[in-house]
Amino acid sequence: MPTRTAMRTVVIPMAGRGSRFRSVHDTKVLYPVPPRAEPMFAHAVSTLGFAFDRLVLICQRAHGIPALAREHLPWVTDIACVELDAITGGPMESVLKARALLEETPDSEVVVCNADQAMVWPGDWALGWFRDRGAEGGIPTLRRDTLRHSYVGLDPEVPHKVVAVREKERISDRATIGIYWFRRAAGLLAAADRMMAAGDRAPNGEFYVGPAYNHLDGLILEYPLCEFWSLGEPENLAAYLARDYAAAARD
């Protein structure tokens, strides 16, 4: 198994509106996920599938995330919460609210993750594979065919080499799933700055994390998954709780 020497920081931008969950709960990231009734963001952290040294949560101040994180994630020894009072212009803009924290350890690995998913994968091995292959960025992917997802373009000559990322544009059959690995925090910040300066926005006008790879120097790889659970909408969550694999595959 690959060994990890660099510090690894997980950043979870969860300061959005979560409007798709309003029919069942006021705040998606706080939805109590059975069987332990832990907030959805805590369930996502618990199922990441890889080790990390620091957890950074970008959240709305009104949600009381710091106390909930301490209660439901007692095994995480280093948690930093960046509390906001307004909605940002997208997930990457939220991530950049933690710039000062990321600049403290510019050579640390950073994994940006969604707050509404559950992973089933050999995460430590996969992230080590990215690193040992010499990648500067790495993206777990899943085979999908709808415009609900964002997609990576692949090099036809080099297996698993990512050459482009597009939001809600099917440029291949490999969809991103909301986990984005960067070898260095400094590389993530530089790529994010270039992305925003170039106006590389999603179709809804927001700045997403995936397109930052279009502006990251160096090798970027995909890691194909065979199972993944999105919890971002009530029907996704219901499929996960029932372990309805057919419904998950149709997402």
Residues 179 and 13: their CA atoms lie apart, in Å, by 11
DSSP string, 26-62: S-GGG-EETTTTEEHHHHHHHTS-S--SEEEEEEEGG
Q: What is the pLDDT of residue 130?
A: 98
C-alpha separations of 93 from 7, 82, 88, 242 in Å: 23, 13, 6, 34
Distance between CA atoms of residues 167 and 204, nearest Å: 10
Radius of gyration of the chain (CA): 17
| 233 within some domain | yes
The pLDDT-based confidence of 251 (bands split at 50, 70, 90) is: confident
So what's the pLDDT on residue 248?
87
Mean pLDDT value of segment 205-213: 96
Distance of alpha carbon 62 from the chain centroid: 22
Position 31 confidence tier, pLDDT thresholds 50, 70, 90: very high
- For residue 111, is it within any domain? yes
Which pLDDT belongs to residue 6?
Answer: 79
Pick from 165, 148, 152: which is nearest to 214 by CA? 165
Count, residues in the chain: 251
Residue 146 has pLDDT above 90, yes or no: no
Q: What is the rounded average pLDDT of the residues 106-126?
A: 97
Q: What is the pLDDT of residue 134?
A: 97
Q: Is the pLDDT of residue 3 over 80?
A: no
SS3 57: strand
Residue 19 is predicted with a pLDDT of 66
Nearest of 213, 27, 214 to residue 115 by alpha carbon: 27
Domain membership of residue 230 (yes or no) is yes
Average pLDDT, stretch 105-120? 97
Q: What's the domain count of the chain? A: 1
Beta partners for residue 230, in sequence order: 117
How high is the pLDDT of residue 18?
64
pLDDT at 21: 82
Task: Give the helix/strand (H/E) hosting 147.
Answer: none
Q: Residue 117 has what pLDDT?
A: 96
How many percent of the chain have pLDDT more than 70?
Answer: 97
Q: 205, 168 in Cβ contact below 8 A?
A: no
pLDDT, averaged across the chain? 94
Average pLDDT, integer, range 82-100: 96
Q: What pLDDT sits at residue 191?
A: 98
pLDDT of residue 166: 95
**Which of the four pLDDT bands, split at 50, 70 and 90, describes residue 16?**
confident
Whether the per-residue pLDDT at 2 is higher than 60: the answer is no
Residue 20: pLDDT band with limits 50, 70, 90:
confident
Percent of the chain having pLDDT more than 90?
A: 87
Sort strands 179-182 and 137-143 into parallel, antiparallel or unpaired.
Answer: antiparallel
Domain that holds residue 200: 8-140+177-250
Distance (Å) of CA 131 to CA 1, 8, 220:
12, 12, 10
Question: Within a domain: residue 148?
Answer: no
* CB-based contacts of 68, cutoff 8 Å, min separation 6: 30, 39, 42
**161 is a domain residue:** no
**Is position 191 within any domain?**
yes
5: pLDDT strictly greater than 90: no
Interval 132-141: pLDDT, tens = 999 999 999 9
Cis check for the bond before 234: say yes or no (omega within 30 of 0): no
Q: Is residue 147 part of a domain?
A: no
Domain presence at residue 242: yes
CATH number, domain with residue 71: 3.90.550.10
